[in-house]
Amino acid sequence: MVHRPTRKEREPLLSVAHGSTASRILDPTNAVAVDGVSARSTIYSSAVLLISKSVDFDDTFKRIEKAAKGLGWRAIAEDEPECAVGLRFGVRRVRLGVRPGKAAQAPDAWTVLQYLRAEGRGNARGVSLEHVLVPDPHNEPNPHNEPNPHNEPNPHNEPNPHNEPNPSYGYDPLGTGGRRPVAFVGAAPRRLVDEELNGRDRPVVAVLDTGCGPHPWLDFVQRDVRLGDHPIGWPAGVPSSEIDGDQVGPLDGLIDPVAGHGTFIAGLIHQACPDAEILSWRIVPPDGPIAETDWVTALAQVAELMHLYRAGDPRGRRIDVLSLSMGYYHETPEDQMFDGTLYPILADLSANGTLVVCSAGNDATSRPMFPAAFAPWSDGNGPVSLTADTLPIVSVGALNPNGETDALFSNSGPWVRAYERGAGVVSTFPLTFQGGYQASIATEFNGRSRSSIDPDDFTGGFGTWNGTSFAAPLLAGRIAQLLFEGGRPSDVRQDFKRMWTALEELTSFRQGAEAH
């Protein structure tokens, strides 16, 4: 099927995290090619290459600098941000530009990377594109049932579009729309007070997403857990769409495309495990795309927290489950050197007893989405092998409300190892959310106002949304609940045993059958 570029594919994206850089789509049909490297489409920062901390920076930078110079470009090594200095894992940015006094085509990181590979595959070890990640809410059906183009919100990660209601006065009878307000009339999840725990420890679920906005259910959420003196993710001074809902185009009256995403996720975890501690960090900007550097740095900080905890360092924090609802499609996953940075971070978390749960993506494709596709594949063909001293990455697809059929938008394949409800789920929204749309019909009768539903009025505190973004934290919460019921955390060996008990009950994983 021919892929028809969406509006977002035709226009450059911006990576808004800690400085903007133009992004572009890798089109394998006209990109620079190298024998033995078969590329697929992805979205990446056009003038940025990343050097992994796993290799010698100076030596690797010299090779990049030489390749860039031959193309009429220059390479500039960016200083490592203060929060990343001293971390065991991570990357450093190399920015490409046109050499002074020269005229050349706009720099392209993919071209430089391919020139490195052409000189010898080992020359590119530890060097990668800076991918643009997106969170995984599903806001509108993909009209052509195609990936779009494999990193971009789905393809219109603007509910219909830009959060516009479907016809029929905002009631959405077809069940295909994005976030919508609903009335929750049940009781709030009952959270035990500390005196009622009877010696049990609360399981800790961490979320790296858009943050967590104000909601009476979520007053206990910890929003500013730091690594030493450094914040994790975006510091408090950076404006948050979880607070006012509108940071992108603040004059347009629209709630930002992924505003409320982290609050919705926190509410799902709380419903599944009312007694869990929830740590919420902001790394997703208001309009969705995430610079890989910022995401990797935050993950490396989280891994350091858990590493310090296991070492008995008071600066550490226990994290039982880490929920990640974003991802990207790698251009060369078959290359054995394709990822020297991300997986080692996740493996370090897993080795220290943190279970990493990842959403599978919403493009209705079997193409592996990372980091979810780091899960052990059921057919044994995955890119990594599970060892006895490491917990598996858990990849989660979405089920429909009936809990039986897969949601049509959900990615699937041998790399997806668990499924949970992710379509039509109900959860929390910040109470401050009320966008510029109005009820499509409003009138009065007998002194009382009457109207259809206001499609972006979330002041009732609840809404419904769709996506593997929400299947992953729901499963994370259910795992946390089993951990809570299964006893207190202990050493790594005992924690692994507790975690595997939960995995075997809730997923297709079976201990001893996953190592390949």
Would you list the domain boundaries of the chain?
A: 7-131, 202-506
CB 126 within 8 A of CB 55: yes
Surface-to-core class of residue 439, CB atoms within 10 Å of its CB (0-12 exposed, 13-18 middle, 19+ buried): middle
261: annotated active-site residue? yes
What's the pLDDT score for residue 8? Answer: 34
pLDDT at position 286:
80
Tokens of 138: 């599903």
Q: Please state which architecture CATH assigns to domain 202-506.
A: 3-Layer(aba) Sandwich (3.40)
- Which DSSP helix (H) or strand (E) runs through 307? helix 292-310
Report the distance separating Cα 400 and Cα 471, nearest Å: 10
At residue 343, the pLDDT reads: 94
Q: In this structure, which amino acid lies at residue 340? A: G
Residue 68 has a pLDDT of 95
pLDDT at residue number 516:
54
Q: So what's the pLDDT on residue 171?
A: 36
Options 209, 294, 320, 456, the catalytic residue:
209
- pLDDT of 199: 86
- Neighbouring residues of 265: CB distance < 8 A, sequence distance ≥ 6: 207, 209, 323, 325, 427, 469, 470, 473
- Residue 508 vs residues 354, 377, 394, 418, 423: alpha-carbon distances, Å: 19, 11, 10, 6, 21
Q: Which one from 41, 241, 395, 469 is the annotated catalytic residue? A: 469
Q: How many CA atoms lie within 13 A of 298 on its CB side?
A: 26
**Is 38 a known active-site residue?**
no
CB atoms near residue 14 (< 10 Å): 16
Ranges of the chain whose pLDDT falls below 50: 1-20, 141-176
DSSP assignment letter at 351: H
Give 254's contacts (C-beta < 8 A, 6+ positions apart): 162, 163, 246, 248, 435, 436, 437, 456
Query: How far is the CA of 479 from the CAs of 135, 342, 360, 486, in angstroms?
Result: 22, 24, 17, 10
Residue 177: the pLDDT is 52
Nearest of 455, 462, 431, 470 to residue 245 by alpha carbon:
431
DSSP string of 39-61? Answer: ----EEEEEEEEEETTS-HHHHH
Phi, psi of 241 (to 5 degrees): -75, -10
The interaxial angle of helices 57-70 and 109-118, nearest 10 deg, is 100
Of 130, 123, 132, nearest to 65 by C-alpha is 123
Instruction: Confirm if 128 and 50 have CB atoms less than 8 A apart.
Output: yes
- Looking at residue 139, its pLDDT comes to 58
The residue assigned the tokens 């401050």 is 432
Two tokens, residue 430:
């910040």
Q: Which positions ≥6 away from 443 have C-beta within 8 Å? A: 449, 450, 451
List the structure tokens of 129: 């594109």
pTM above 0.85, yes or no: yes
Helix, strand, coil share (%) of the chain residues, nearest 5: 25, 20, 55
Q: Which residues of 290-323 are buried (b: 16+ CB within 10 A; e: fewer)?
A: bbbbbbbbbbbbbbbbbbbbbeeeeebbbbbbbb
CA–CA gap between residue 276 and residue 124 (Å, rounded): 43
- The residue from 150, 215, 261, 270 that is catalytic is 261
The candidate with the shortest Cα–Cα distance to 90, out of 45, 53, 50, 130, is 53
Q: How many CA atoms lie within 13 A of 58 on its CB side?
A: 0
